[in-house]
Amino acid sequence: MAHKQISCFPILLFLVLSLTHLGTPFPSAYSQLDYYFYDQSCPRLQMIVKYGVWAAISNETRIAASLLRLHFHDCFVNGCDGSILLDDTNDFKGEKNALPNRNSARGFEVIESIKADVERACPSTVSCADILALAAREAVVLSGGPFWSVPLGRRDGLTASQKAANENLPGPFEPLENITAKFISKGLDIKDVVVLSGAHTIGFAQCFTFKNRLFNFKGSGKPDPRLDSSSLTNLQSMCPNKDASNTNLAPLDSPSPYTFDNSYYTSLVSNSGLLESDQALMGDSTAAALVNSYTYMAYLFNSDFAASMVKMGNVGVLTGKNGQIRKKCGSVN
């Protein structure tokens, strides 16, 4: 009897350990990263990041959007390796000054300040790439969006590439096929394009990123015929037809620019998408069907967004002994 109980123990232990992992999405598909990576080495990590993002949002609401975008722009260039955070050096031109980022990407100081807090609690332990992935999640949660567990264990890159940033990041004037091709080259798909474009439910764009739609669309001398007329009037007043308005800001999701919800998709259905690349989702039947479903199934958008963020956060990650754990996010050690 006693012998039987003892021999059962390893099996029970195994069952208990497997059960504790059941609640996490995609336990095996993303095996390079680990949900529990810093549980022993930096147990307060998630609290520190959460507080840092909360404090930054209390100071400026828009920073939530900026942090979410920063993670995306990190992942699409050399993978999610914190390369976007690096300043220019003698060896390389950094990504901060690439066309899609210059005078546009924001939130660097927030990540650097959270990193300093994390270094005080757990020196040389947590990568900047992981802090950025966690900050993006907190930004979404604090804006009213979904929570997801962030797989961790990314290491920081040793270099950055301005050229790759110019080539790999999608632009607002690109057709959907080109944008989709860029996502596919990162192991993502058309569904991820639709779902992750939903990030434009928060944040702002400068007028020059869509002004071509307001006055002289493709040389027609007329506005983009796909743009709803009341949105057009509204945008023309925010972005008058002169160069001085180029850096004025317009909300990507005008009904609720600070709330992570599904109204971005509702606007696309009513031809009120801000960027040409946003509205272009309605020009593809697969994409448009998804857009439609998200307008009446907010919960589906939330769970799909969480899943696509985990997927994006896994792009080209450095793990194990690759890369390093930076001491400061702006420079390699």
Question: Residues 48, 56, 140, 312: which binds ligand NAG (CB under 6 A)?
Answer: 56
Q: Which is nearer to ligand HEM, 35 or 208 (CB)?
A: 208
Tokens of 45: 């990590």
CB environment 31-52: b (16+ within 10 A), e (fewer): eebebebbeeebeebbebbbeb
Please report how close the Cβ of residue 162 comes to ligand NAG at its closest, in angstroms.
Answer: 18
Contact segment (CB under 6 A) with ligand HEM among 11-19, 21-29, 190-198, 283-291 equals 190-198
Amino acid at 131: I
**Considering CB distances under 5 to 8 angstroms, the limit depending on partner class, which of ligand HEM, ligand NAG, none binds residue 78?**
none
Question: Residues 193, 268, 290, 318: which binds ligand HEM (CB under 6 A)?
Answer: 193
Q: How many Å apart are CA 278 and CA 288, to the nearest integer? A: 11
H-state helical runs in 263-329: 263-269, 276-279, 285-296, 298-312
Question: Residues 37, 72, 148, 301: which binds ligand HEM (CB under 6 A)?
Answer: 72
The residues annotated as belonging to the active site are 73
Q: Which of residues 231-290 bind ligand HEM (CB under 6 A)?
A: 252, 275, 277
User: Does 313 interact with ligand HEM (rule: CB under 6 A)?
Assistant: no
**Considering CB distances under 5 to 8 angstroms, the limit depending on partner class, which of ligand HEM, ligand NAG, none binds residue 168?**
none
- Is the Cβ–Cβ distance between 248 and 209 less than 8 Å? no
Long-range contacts of 293-297 (CB under 8 A, 24+ apart): 294/194, 294/198, 294/262, 294/265, 295/262, 295/265, 295/266, 295/269
Rounded alpha-carbon distances, angstroms, from residue 122 to 31, 34, 41, 177: 24, 18, 7, 44
User: Does 66 interact with ligand HEM (rule: CB under 6 A)?
Assistant: yes
Q: Rule CB under 6 A: which residues touch ligand HEM? A: 62, 65-66, 68-69, 72, 104, 106, 170-172, 179, 193, 196-197, 199-200, 202-206, 209, 252, 275, 277
Q: Rule CB under 6 A: which residues touch ligand NAG? A: 56, 59-60, 173-174, 178
